[in-house]
């Protein structure tokens, strides 16, 4: 009877503790809702204020536009008369074109549509989403103006040391820490010096052969799919391709992910999706102790991060024991640099290369091939150049200089589909 009373008392105590915890969780939820509502209210007020400012600026700008248009007509008329007079004096037409074509180029620039919208769209979600919506509205080329060109010169050139790599570095801290890409200042310079030897011409030439071997395995996989009419997901295949290349180049390790599912790719995309979600979340719920334990998504992120870290630790341990000198990996140079680098810093460097190296390269390849499918003429010209320069063999470092059209295609895609941001480190007036 005494035991029954004690058991009953323990049950009541446990129930009271559970109810107290539930009340605490509910209270936290209420506080979060109130903070979110307050934040949304401030955003709405700021949006209205900016809309009023824009209307005022539009009203002030309209008379100036008319004056500029009138001045341009006068300049065009004078240029036309001057060009005709110089032509009569015997000045070659190609020289005249060189002298006066800048006006036509400026006209073409003014014909490019200027995108308009609310700044709230950029603040409330990942930047590429509103950019893609503008692309659907205005087409492949449009102007997106936030300020004068002098702002860019000041931030990127004259006072670059006052700006960090922005929110991207902050939200990737839980993944990459102070790795080469998120790092700034002295940490970045020190880690970059350690990696430079791995980018020596001989090492790069050896790595390029890895590109050909891995790409050949991908082509065989695509040939098999084409023969059976099977649909393939190119983004996934490019992710596996670049992971295999990064594995050999950085760690001298073959993931063989084109034929085997290691789970690393899914883990990488899990943490990247989490980083993207964190970049647009108004409240850092992932830092709340209770939320870390009860959220299925946060548990999955923790599991994925552990898989990646365990993989890196195994690769580091293997490299310390054995390094194939003929294909020296970047990890080899980091270990042999002589720097007094902590295990965490080494892990951050390697995590950056593993995730940023393969994911960004896969994204560029995916976008490149997508754009090529929309322009058969470019594909034909690209194929002709590759066949004439490389033929049936793997490419070498010397071939890159000869692949001029291929290089132009690559340079065209990169600025269209890769972006990064900066954030001011100190108060900066301009």
Give the predicted TM-score (pTM) of the model. 0.56
Residues near 217 by Cβ (< 8 Å), separated by ≥ 6? 241, 244, 258, 259
Residue with more model confidence, 265 or 391: 391
Confidence check: pLDDT of 430 > 60: no
What are 239-296's pLDDT values in tens digits?
A: 889 888 888 888 777 878 887 777 887 888 788 788 878 776 767 777 777 777 788 8
Average pLDDT for residues 177-201, to the nearest whole number? 72
Determine whether domain 167-424 maps to CATH 1.10.630.10.
Answer: yes
Average pLDDT for residues 173-188, to the nearest whole number? 73
248 is written with which tokens? 């050999």
What are 100-110's pLDDT values in tens digits?
A: 654 444 455 55
What are 372-383's pLDDT values in tens digits?
A: 998 999 999 999
Give the long-range contacts of residues 95-104, CB within 8 A, separation 24 or more: 103/75, 103/76, 103/79
Average pLDDT for residues 119-128, to the nearest whole number? 64
Confidence check: pLDDT of 204 > 50: yes
Q: What pLDDT does residue 92 have?
A: 65
Q: What pLDDT does residue 78 have?
A: 78
Average pLDDT for residues 291-316, to the nearest whole number? 85
What are 326-370's pLDDT values in tens digits?
A: 456 777 766 666 555 566 777 777 787 777 777 788 888 998 999
Average pLDDT for residues 216-239, to the nearest whole number? 91
For the chain, domain boundaries:
167-424
Helices (runs of H) and strands (runs of E) counted in the chain: 18, 2
Confidence check: pLDDT of 410 > 80: yes
343 is written with which tokens? 């295990």
At residue 90, φ and ψ (nearest 5 deg) are 100, 10
Average pLDDT, whole number, for the chain?
76
Average pLDDT for residues 303-321, to the nearest whole number? 82
Q: What pLDDT does residue 44 have?
A: 80
Evaluate whether 167 touches 279 at the Cβ level (below 8 Å).
yes
What are 23-74's pLDDT values in tens digits?
A: 888 888 888 888 878 877 787 887 788 778 777 777 777 777 777 778 777 8
CA-to-CA distance for 401 and 403, rounded, in angstroms?
Answer: 6
Residues near 157 by Cβ (< 8 Å), separated by ≥ 6? none
Confidence check: pLDDT of 310 > 80: yes
- Element containing residue 320 per DSSP (H, E): helix 296-321
Confidence check: pLDDT of 211 > 80: yes
CA-to-CA distance for 268 and 355, rounded, in angstroms?
Answer: 6
């Amino acid at each position: 009877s005494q035991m029954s009373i004690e058991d009953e008392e323990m049950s009541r105590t446990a129930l009271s503790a559970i109810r107290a915890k539930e009340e605490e969780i509910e209270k936290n939820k209420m506080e979060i809702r109130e903070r979110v509502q307050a934040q949304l209210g401030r955003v709405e007020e700021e949006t209205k204020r900016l809309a009023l400012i824009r209307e005022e600026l539009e009203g002030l700008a309209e008379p100036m536009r008319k004056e500029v248009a009138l001045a341009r007509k006068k300049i065009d008329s004078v240029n036309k008369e001057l060009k005709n007079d110089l032509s009569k004096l015997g000045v070659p037409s190609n020289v005249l074109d060189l002298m006066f074509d800048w006006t036509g180029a400026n006209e073409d620039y003014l014909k490019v549509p200027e995108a308009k919208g609310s700044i709230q769209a950029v603040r409330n979600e990942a930047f590429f989403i509103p950019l893609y919506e503008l692309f659907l509205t205005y087409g492949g080329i449009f102007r997106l103006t936030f300020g004068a060109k002098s702002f860019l010169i000041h931030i990127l050139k004259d006072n670059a040391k006052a700006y960090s790599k922005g929110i991207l570095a902050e939200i990737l801290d839980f993944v990459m820490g102070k790795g080469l890409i998120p790092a700034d200042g002295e940490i970045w310079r020190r880690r970059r010096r350690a990696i430079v030897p791995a980018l020596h011409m001989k090492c790069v030439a050896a790595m390029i052969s890895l590109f050909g071997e891995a790409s050949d395995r991908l082509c065989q996989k695509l040939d098999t799919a084409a023969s059976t009419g099977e649909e393939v997901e190119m983004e996934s295949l490019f992710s596996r391709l670049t992971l295999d290349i990064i594995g050999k180049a950085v760690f001298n390790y073959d993931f063989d992910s084109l034929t085997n599912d290691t789970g690393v790719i899914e883990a990488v995309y899990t943490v990247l999706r989490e980083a993207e979600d964190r970049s647009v979340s108004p409240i850092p719920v992932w830092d709340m102790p209770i939320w870390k334990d009860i959220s299925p998504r946060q548990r999955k992120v923790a599991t994925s991060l552990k898989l990646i870290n365990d993989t890196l630790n195994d690769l580091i341990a293997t490299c310390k024991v054995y390094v194939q000198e003929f294909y020296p990996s970047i990890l080899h140079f980091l270990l042999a640099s002589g720097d007094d680098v902590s295990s965490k810093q080494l892990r951050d460097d390697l995590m950056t290369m593993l995730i940023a190296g393969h994911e960004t390269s896969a994204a560029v390849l995916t976008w490149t091939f997508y754009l090529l499918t929309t322009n058969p003429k470019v594909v034909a010209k690209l194929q002709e150049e590759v066949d004439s320069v490389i033929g049936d063999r793997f490419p070498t470092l010397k071939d890159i200089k000869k692949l001029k059209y291929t290089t132009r295609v690559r340079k065209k895609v990169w600025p269209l589909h890769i972006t990064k941001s900066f954030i001011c480190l100190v108060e900066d007036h301009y």
